[in-house]
């Protein structure tokens, strides 16, 4: 089933808001911001597992910390999403979140204390929680003109260019410095500053992106003010897809646990882990573009690929064969690509404009609780029994496929 659109017609990409850019140019420039910022935080995340292990963390600690980080990145959107909708200050929330991330990452390489490093890892994720509902709402207006799946997919693909360059840069600096994390993460301050500058420029050019979505007045009717928009309930179909996503993520390991396995089992030197992460981000971009195009053509049924990829990850990644483990990391990246593009497009199509940041916040909060469970589950079961971990995840993803079958029967449409 393809979710109903929130408008009966959408503006052409060549019809920009006053003084602004075309919809596709807006998506592309915002993609440039995300490219630079992904350079920063994906560069850091590519070595989170080895860095924490270097400071004395166990697999369980790595799993819990990375799970808590993802839970913070997602769960705190339960607050930031409604607050963004209520204040209507989407740009302010977006800028504040990016600034927090840009400030915390370079400091991470300077600490030699485990608890402080864990705190900074989580703080970087909090920055994502602050900005994401507002950022996705801004993008959702432009993707009404470009096509939801394609617009979010192009943005995600540009994200992953940065996610490719960042880990490779970190890997190169680690190799040159003999594994010194301080310069490897310190260099990430440069793209962080550039991202903030580009974001401020985009804000000046397009102060109100809702103009992309208002040619027939549907979006405007959803914008009477905070009081009217906040009282509307989220549609039933939205909750159905949220449950499916939660089940899938409960059985999804973090890259921190995957990289921990590679280093501790001596399958890969630490300096090569960011290179593998970069390859996973390339798989992310390809999967985002493919599923985004398929989503616009066939609807949300394309999400069937997500449980299949998630089940394959531990079966491949936690082996002691390098090639198979690499394939598992690539499957992990492809699954993340589906999560970060097609799921966001689905939410935009299911929820009307006045409640969209709230919906992104609620959706992310549900994902955050599931991510916490998934990260902790992977870390704990990894230490108990890898075969047991593989079986448990396979069972969870089978359940997710069943849930997806039920969600396709939900025919409710977003309220107008």
Q: What is the pLDDT, as a whole number, of residue 412?
A: 42
How far is 332 from 335, CA to CA, in rounded Å? Answer: 5
Helices 90-108 and 189-205, axial angle in degrees (round to 10) = 170
Q: What is the pLDDT, as a whole number, of residue 7?
A: 38
Q: What is the pLDDT, as a whole number, of residue 35?
A: 93
Look at the pTM and tell me if it is higher than 0.75: no
Q: What is the pLDDT, as a whole number, of residue 274?
A: 75
Q: Would you say the C-alpha torsion 284, 285, 288, 289 has a positive or negative sign? A: negative
Q: How far is CA 406 from the centre of its chain?
A: 25
**pLDDT tens over the chain, length 416 residues:** 444 444 333 344 444 554 567 888 999 999 999 999 989 988 888 788 888 888 888 877 877 887 788 777 777 888 888 898 888 899 999 999 999 999 888 888 888 788 888 888 888 889 988 998 899 999 988 888 888 888 888 888 888 788 788 888 988 888 888 888 888 888 999 999 999 999 999 999 998 888 887 643 444 444 444 444 445 678 888 888 888 888 888 878 778 788 888 888 888 887 788 788 778 878 888 888 888 888 888 877 888 889 999 999 989 988 888 889 899 999 999 998 888 888 888 888 888 877 888 888 888 788 777 877 887 788 788 888 888 988 988 999 999 888 887 776 654 444 44
Residue 98 near residue 382, CB atoms below 8 Å: no
Cβ contacts of 23 within 8 Å, gap of 6 or more: 11, 13, 15, 16, 142, 143, 144, 145, 146, 151, 212
Tokens of 200: 């401020």
Residue 324 near residue 387, CB atoms below 8 Å: no
Q: What is the DSSP letter of 398?
A: H
| Dihedral angle, C-alpha 21, 155, 153, 315, nearest 10 ° | 180
- The secondary structure element, H or E, covering residue 163 is helix 148-177
Using the CB atoms, write b or e for 270-294: b if 16+ within 10 Å.
Answer: bbbbbbbbbbbbbbbbbbbbbbbbb
How far is 73 from 247, CA to CA, in rounded Å? Answer: 18
Q: Work out the number of other CB atoms within 10 angstroms of the CB of residue 127.
A: 23
Of the candidates 79, 207, 88, 144, the residue with the CA atom closest to the CA atom of residue 352: 144
Residue 373 near residue 254, CB atoms below 8 Å: no
Q: Would you say the C-alpha torsion 210, 212, 215, 219 has a positive or negative sign? A: negative
Q: What is the pLDDT, as a whole number, of residue 16?
A: 53
- The secondary structure element, H or E, covering residue 78 is helix 77-87
Q: What is the pLDDT, as a whole number, of residue 214?
A: 66
Measured CA angle at 154 (ends 151, 160), to 5 deg: 145
| Model pLDDT for residues 374-405, shown as the tens digit of each residue | 877 887 888 888 889 889 889 999 998 888 87
| Model pLDDT for residues 146-171, shown as the tens digit of each residue | 888 888 888 888 887 887 888 889 88
CA max distance for the chain = 60
| Dihedral angle, C-alpha 311, 313, 315, 321, nearest 10 ° | 170
Measured CA angle at 71 (ends 68, 74), to 5 deg: 150
């Amino acid at each position: 089933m393809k979710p109903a659109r929130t408008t009966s017609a959408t503006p052409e990409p060549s019809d920009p808001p006053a003084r602004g850019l075309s919809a596709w140019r807006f998506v592309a420039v915002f993609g440039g911001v995300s490219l630079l910022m992904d350079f920063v935080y994906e560069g850091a995340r590519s070595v989170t597992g080895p860095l924490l292990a270097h400071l004395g963390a166990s697999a369980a600690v790595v799993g819990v910390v990375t799970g808590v980080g993802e839970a913070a990145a997602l769960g705190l959107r339960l607050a930031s999403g409604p607050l963004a909708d209520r204040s209507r200050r989407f740009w302010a929330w977006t800028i504040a979140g990016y600034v927090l991330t840009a400030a915390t990452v370079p400091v991470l390489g300077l600490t030699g204390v485990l608890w402080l490093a864990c705190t900074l890892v989580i703080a970087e994720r909090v920055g994502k929680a602050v900005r994401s509902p507002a950022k996705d709402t801004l993008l959702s207006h432009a993707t009404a003109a470009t096509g939801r799946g394609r617009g979010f997919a192009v943005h995600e693909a540009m994200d992953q260019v940065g996610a490719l360059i960042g880990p490779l840069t970190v890997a190169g600096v680690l190799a040159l410095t003999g594994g010194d994390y301080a310069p490897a993460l310190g260099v990430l301050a440069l793209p962080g500053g550039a991202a903030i500058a580009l974001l401020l420029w985009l804000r000046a050019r397009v102060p109100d992106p809702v103009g992309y979505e208002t040619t027939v007045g549907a979006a405007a009717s959803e914008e009477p003010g905070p009081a009217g928009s906040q009282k509307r309930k989220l549609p039933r179909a939205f909750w159905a897809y949220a449950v499916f996503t939660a089940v899938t993520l409960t059985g999804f390991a973090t890259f921190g646990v995957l990289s921990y396995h590679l280093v501790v089992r001596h399958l890969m030197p630490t300096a090569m882990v960011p290179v593998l992460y970069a390859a996973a981000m390339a798989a992310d971009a390809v999967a985002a573009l493919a599923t985004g195009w398929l989503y616009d053509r066939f609807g949300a049924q394309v999400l069937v690929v997500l449980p299949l990829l998630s089940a394959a990850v531990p079966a491949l990644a936690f082996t002691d064969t390098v090639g198979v483990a690499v394939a598992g990391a690539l499957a992990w990246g492809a699954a993340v690509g589906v999560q970060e593009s097609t799921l966001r497009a689905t939410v935009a199509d299911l929820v009307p404009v006045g409640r969209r940041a709230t919906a992104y916040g609620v959706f992310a909060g549900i994902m955050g609780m599931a991510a916490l469970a998934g990260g902790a589950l992977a870390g704990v079961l990894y230490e108990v029994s890898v075969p047991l971990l593989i079986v448990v995840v396979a069972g969870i993803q089978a359940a997710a496929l069943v849930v997806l079958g039920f969600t396709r029967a939900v025919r409710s449409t977003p309220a107008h």
